[in-house]
A and B are shown apart, each in its own frame.
Chain A
Amino acid sequence: MAKVPVQFTLNGAEKAEFIDSGTTLLNALRDKIGDTSPKGGCHQGTCGACSVIIDGELRLSCLTLAETCNGAAITTTSGLSEGGVLHPLQRAFLDAFATQCGFCTPGMIMAAKVLLDHTPSPSREDVVEALSGNICRCTGYEPIIQAVLTAARSNSQHAA
């Protein structure tokens, strides 16, 4: 089958690949480009582990065809740290013990980042709503909710 060219920026870097038509963005990122931070939990859009940010919006990469992302700007959790310094959300997840097995963590962080980008000082209900598409087996969610609230507070302190 003929390959299809795709080109987009991933975490600020230009990427171009030839893929099989119909390849999901999740598989293109993981298997072609080598960014394994989005996880394949269910491959049907019900667990949220594959969440990435496309042009500022939270998207499920397992339900997104890579060829629809031409020219897009894609952000994944592996692109959040700068110069070895963790993003405040990553730092807050570590400090709050908001991960155990870690499989849901990149998706949780993506969902939380989009929330904080749009709502810098969210309420607890805002956080719960934002994370409602992401399933976690280990933590019972409470440490994750606390981590997002902590990251929001540390962001507003930096801004002040």
Chain B
Amino acid sequence: MAIRRGRGVAAINYPTGMNLGGDPTQALVHSTPTGNFMVTLSSVDLGQGMKQIMAQICAETIGVPTDRVVVDTADTDTGPHCMGTFASRGTHRAGNAVIQAAREARQVMLEVAAEELEVNTSDLETDGQGNILVKGAPQRSISIFDVALSAHFKRGRSISGRGMFLIPRSYPEKETGAMKPSTCYAHACTVAEVEVDDETGEVTVLTVKNVFEIGRALNPKMVEQQLVGGSWMGISHALYEATEPYYPNRDHGGTDFNQYLMPGPGDLAQTEIIVLERPSADGPYGAKGPGEMCANPQIPAVANAVFDAVGVRIDTLPITPERILRALKAQASN
């Protein structure tokens, strides 16, 4: 009886969104009288930071600082239609809709500015700081604050835009069955190092090294935060968490935190995160969906590491001490 060490590797590709019935998200953008911009969505910020990302996308498209954008989300009674926050689709689907809406609003904003400055719309550019300048003659400029006042009180314009991003339903080809169930794919690879006590069946994850390819990281710190949390969650899925331990039988399913095992701060593996950015062609500013993806590769990597350590294949999650001991027993009797 001994503590045995093993190492496992796994790589995944993971879809951004789904389109089995058509996958739409809509967005509306409008300016307030003082030149702030409002993004209206039905999409939900679950805490992953969607509001911040949508504010960045809107600000980048219109050409204003991010703090000039307010995002109102998650009221499906009053907001434009969104399928929801799931399948790692939020940034990609809502982001594309916000870009479209913000482009239309920007066009109106530039038209009003052009009237005020008595130039052509095509001769104008934004400085990203809240001003609109004449290209090549930056001394001729107007603040977006003044443009908004003019639109609202003088020229009777609504600086606003509508955004609609729809991935149409994909039908399988009759001959081959080939279809396009999603849009761009994120990728990840994980190496996990574990110790397995072959007397108790207990697994300790020593290190987890992850590489994630997620398109462009629109907010690198928030991406890192998502990936660190997701990596831990993947280990938790692999070793601890089960709503129905005898699935599909509901017996002994956890009903609260006393019965549903969730690791605490004492159960952490040493974690490393590397981000590769390969901007996607159809993503907003190149983004893909890193959300669900980041909690997946740890599971097969841990299962492979357990196999490397003690030579048993556990193909049911979570990989509990009981399952390891039963497999070891079966292995010994063969």
Contacts and interface: CB of A to CB of B under 8 A. Distances in A.
Interface stretch (B124-132, B188-196, B254-262): B254-262
Contact of A100 (B48, B264, B266, B271): B48
Nearest to A125: B266
A44 interface: yes
B120 interface: no
B264 A140 contact: no
A143 interface: yes
B168 to A, nearest CB: 32
Interface string B291-324: 0000000000000000000000000000000000
Interface string A102-133: 11000000000000000000000001110111
Interface in B45-59: 46-49
A127 B265 CA distance: 9
B166 interface: no
Contact of B271 (A97, A138, A142): A142
A65 to B, nearest CB: 21
B225 interface: yes
Q: At the interface, is chain A mostly helix, strand, loop or mixed?
A: loop
Interface in A118-160: 127-129, 131-145
A24 B44 CA distance: 31
A144 B266 CA distance: 12
A131 B47 contact: no
Contacts of B221: 97
B256 A132 contact: no
Interface in B155-197: none
A36 B150 CA distance: 42
A131 B257 contact: no
27 contacts: A42-B256, A44-B258, A46-B258, A97-B224, A97-B225, A100-B48, A100-B229, A101-B47, A127-B265, A129-B266, A132-B264, A132-B266, A135-B264, A138-B229, A139-B225, A139-B229, A139-B232, A140-B228, A140-B230, A141-B232, A141-B268, A142-B228, A142-B232, A142-B271, A143-B225, A143-B228, A144-B265
Interface of B: 46-49, 221-222, 224-226, 228-233, 256-258, 262, 264-266, 268, 271
